[in-house]
Structure 1
Amino acid sequence: MSQWKIWCDGACAPTNPGPCAWGAVIESPDGGRMEHCGFIQPMGTNNIAELTAAIESLRKVPAGAQVVLCSDSQYTLKGLGEWLPGWIRKGWRTASGSPVLNKELWQALHQEYAARKVKLEWVRGHNGHPENELADRLANRGLRR
């Protein structure tokens, strides 16, 4: 069965926290490619940017689709693949009992993730991976908007 492939990245610059944006390269099952980016807010964090990149990317893929979501963000991938079920079970609390940071973004990401068949794939950031480097450039383009 055909699948979509997403490479997404967030950017926060010149400081973290600071202005943040996201970028993504999305490849459709027929091989077509789309590039997307957007500015998020004037004062946010890199984690907010990374989560928004995943949310906005998944929103561009039809519900029910098979997707490979590639990111250099361990925060995003571990959150989706490991931490999320426990947070939900514990009423959006971490293992230490503190509230989950960026809860609203995690809830939005969970909704998009659950609506598709998503495989998570980590890619090392700033390591020459062409699509990841392009997603990073797009996120930085979003910062300039």
Structure 2
Amino acid sequence: LTSLLKKDEPFVWSESQDTAMRMPTAYVDGCSYNQQGNLKAGAGVVWLNNDPCPPQQFKLGPHSSQYAEIAAILITLQFAASHNIKELFICTDSNYARLSFTCHLAGWKQNGFKTANNKPVKHQELFQACEAIVTEHDMIVYWKKVRGHSRQPGQDKDLNDQTDAIAKAGALHGES
């Protein structure tokens, strides 16, 4: 897999469980909901085997679910950079987040962060911050799509459910 990487493509799609077992792996999730007229967003990060840290929850304020999903990835990248992690496996149930990085980001950068319809990319500042961290720290990020709210037993379900619960708790009680 590594031989297929180009230096200018640090965000790589991968479903390989072997890849995840060889490097730090984070399950990420974001959520947003309206509680009595107040929009609340949270993010959760769970590292496989609690390595390099235990689960974390974050309160993000009045933002959308899409914002929260990308914010969870930014938080993960910041933490990885602070621990000098060069290769990272991110597992998410968000197609929006995964596809934004693996399919759309390169085009957005070429278009001055405009979509194909020439509209500004939503959450541009988060995408740019993620890109800056990955570039500055010479990281390669691999991705895995996990099924959200799956009934199929297994590690992905358990960790995704845990991350989802942590993101929801973060919206209510997390650290800002």
Query: 2:43 & 2:54 partners in 1: Cα distance?
Result: 14
Larger radius of gyration: 2
Is residue 65 of structure 2 the alignment partner of residue 46 of structure 1? yes
What's the TM-score once normalised by structure 2's chain length? 0.74
SS of structure 2 residue aligned to 1:131: helix
Return the offset for 1:25. 0.3
The reply on whether 1:24 has 2:45 as its aligned counterpart is yes
Return the offset for 1:54. Answer: 0.6
1:132 aligned residue (139, 160, 165):
160
Gaps of 5+ in 1: none
Query: What is aligned with 1:35?
Result: 55
1:13 Cα deviation from its structure 2 partner: 1.3
Question: Higher helix fraction: Structure 1 or Structure 2?
Answer: 2
What's the offset of the Cα at 1:111?
2.1
Which has the larger displacement, 109-118 or 51-60?
Answer: 109-118
| Partner residue in 2 for 1:67 | 88
TM-superposed deviation, 1:31: 5.2
The one-letter code of the counterpart of 2:145 is W
**CA distance, structure 2, for counterparts of residue 75 and residue 13 of structure 1:** 17
TM-score by length of 1: 0.88
**Structure-2 residue corresponding to 1:143:** 171
Shift of residue 112, structure 1, vs aligned partner: 3.0
Please state how far the C-alpha of 1:39 moved relative to its aligned partner: 0.2
Contact 1:21–1:49 (CA under 8 A) maintained in structure 2: yes
Q: What is the deviation of 1:117?
A: 1.5
CA distance in 2, matches of 1:33, 1:44: 26
Change (3 A) 1:88 1:32: closer
Pick closer, same or farther for the CA change 1:98–1:142 going to 2, 3 Å.
same
CA distance in 1 between partners of 2:127 and 2:70 (Å): 7
* CA deviations over 1:98-132 (Å, ceiling 9, x no partner): 11111101111222344321111111111140111
Give runs of ≥4 in structure 1 deviating > 6 Å: none
CA-atom RMSD in angstroms: 2.1
Give unpaired runs (5+ residues) of structure 2: 1-18, 152-156
Q: How many residues are aligned here? A: 142
